[in-house]
Chain A
Amino acid sequence: QVLLVESGGGVAQPGGSLRLSCVPSGFSFRNYGMHWVRQAPGKGLEWLAFIRFDGSKEFYADSVKDRLNISRDNSKNTLYLQMNWLQSEDTAVYYCARDGGTGAFDFWGQGTLVTVSS
């Protein structure tokens, strides 16, 4: 079955950096575009970034485009999210999600919690 497992979350200081990873299984990763979505405590869903199946194009939310970088290594079967200049507002659960080919997110990981605090 399709599984997505995020890792790399934890506590970071304001101004610091973190790199999140997402490792998929149960499908051919190299054939699918992938997204990152986050959810602050008690809040709704916020889309962050998308990368095409071959890594040739990326799209970002305006609110994070200067601080986040999405990438993938199809040879390592891994999706990444590099987060720089972290702020308290970045405290959230971060999900990776597969794009089912329709622009909808058909499978989601369980998320990894990022807490930005001094």
Chain B
Amino acid sequence: EIVLTQSPATLSLSPGERASLSCRASQPVSGYLAWYQQKPGQAPRLLIFDASKRATGIPARFSGSGSRTDFALTISSVEPEDFAVYYCQQRALWPITFGQGTRLEIK
């Protein structure tokens, strides 16, 4: 199966700073990568699909990039409501797999 490795495990930032989250795949996934945000006690929310396409209603400060094995989620200027856990997910090959998550915390 394809293993997704996210880094860093925890990212400590202040509101207004730029956040860069990484997701590396153990083999190429083409552009079939998605990103999700999860807040405590809530279900995950789709942010980005197909590596760089924003889901409906997602603010423009969220952007995705990358291809093959290296992907990134960028938050251009972190808002207070963005502090959460972020997961990447691939659907290039069965089984579908998720990364272990990156926690974005307030510095």
Residues of A within 8 A of B (CB): 35, 44-47, 50, 59-62, 95, 100, 102-111
Contact = CB atoms under 8 A, between A and B. Distances in A.
Contact of A105 (B42, B44, B95, B100): B44
Contacts of A59: 94-96
Interface string B67-107: 00000000000000000000101010011111111000000
Contact of B98 (A44, A102, A107, A108): A44
Given A103-B32, A104-B89, A44 B101 contact: yes
Contact of A46 (B34, B36, B38, B98): B98
Q: Which of A102, A104, A111 has the most chain B CB atoms inside 10 A of its CB?
A: A104
A-B residue pairs, 7 tightest by C-beta: A103-B91, A104-B49, A104-B34, A108-B43, A47-B96, A45-B98, A44-B101
Interface of B: 1, 32, 34, 36, 38, 42-46, 49-50, 55-56, 87, 89, 91, 94-101
Q: In terms of DSSP, what is the predominant structure of the interface of chain B? A: loop
Contacts of B101: 44-45
Given A103-B34, A104-B34, A104-B91, A45 B44 contact: yes
A44 B100 CA distance: 6
Given A103-B34, A105-B44, A109-B43, A47 B95 contact: yes
